[in-house]
Amino acid sequence: KNVGKISLEQIDSLSGKSFPLCMRQLHQSLRENHHLRHGGRMQYGLFLKGIGLSLEQALQFWRSEFIRGKVDADKFDKAYAYSIRHMFGKEGKRTDYTPYSCMKVILSNPPSQGDHHGCPFRHSEPELLKQKLQFYKVSLSGISQILELVKGMHYQLACQKYFELTHNIEDASFSLNHPNQYFIESQKVLGG
């Protein structure tokens, strides 16, 4: 329903303003490494589909980033384009895959070395999480509130706190359960 609502040029700025931390980190890794492994491509690719990227936009997005790295256009078309069409239900069983919920990201397929998918509130070491939050200009008092929630294993509440701190609101009026919901709520607050 929202297909084609955003342009590829908007993604960098949206990732800083309206993406939850899991997607912000996937986007940043993709831009830095010109590559994401399978788990990251699935988690991020389906999220992007959920915010409205069309199949054509998705192919262009992934291709243009991958060919800046070690993959040439020919290899991209042979090795990666299929899985992107697959995500959109255009190959294989033609299942139209839905973006992953927070519970799915938190509970299944934990990232290993070299992976950038997962939920940073659940899967990053507290010290590393703290560094990431500092890098994203979250205040020290905000960071300690977040780390306290993480300690109590309230990962989604920690994410919601991150939302409140980065949107300058006291109390988010929703209960977070999905990265795409985070995006929609953010756009509402920002009037996007």
Nearer to ligand SF4, 11 or 71 (CB): 11
Reading the block at residue 148, the tokens are: 């306290």
Nearer to ligand SF4, 45 or 71 (CB): 45
Binding site for ligand SF4 (CB under 6 A): 20-22, 102, 105-106, 119-121, 155-156, 159, 179, 182
Q: Are 75 and 63 in contact (CB under 8 A)?
A: no
In sequence order, the 6+-apart residues with CB closer than 8 A to the CB of 3 are 52, 53, 54
Q: What are the b/e assignments for 119-131, b being 16+ CB within 10 Å? A: bbbbbbeeeebbe
As measured in angstroms, the least distance from the Cβ of 166 to ligand SF4 is 12
Distance CA 149, CA 37 (A): 29
As measured in angstroms, the least distance from the Cβ of 64 to ligand SF4 is 25
Nearer to ligand SF4, 40 or 120 (CB): 120
Query: In a 3-state reduction of DSSP, which class is residue 93?
Result: coil
As measured in angstroms, the least distance from the Cβ of 21 to ligand SF4 is 4
As measured in angstroms, the least distance from the Cβ of 82 to ligand SF4 is 26
Backbone angles phi, psi at 69, to 5 degrees: -105, -135
Nearer to ligand SF4, 33 or 101 (CB): 101
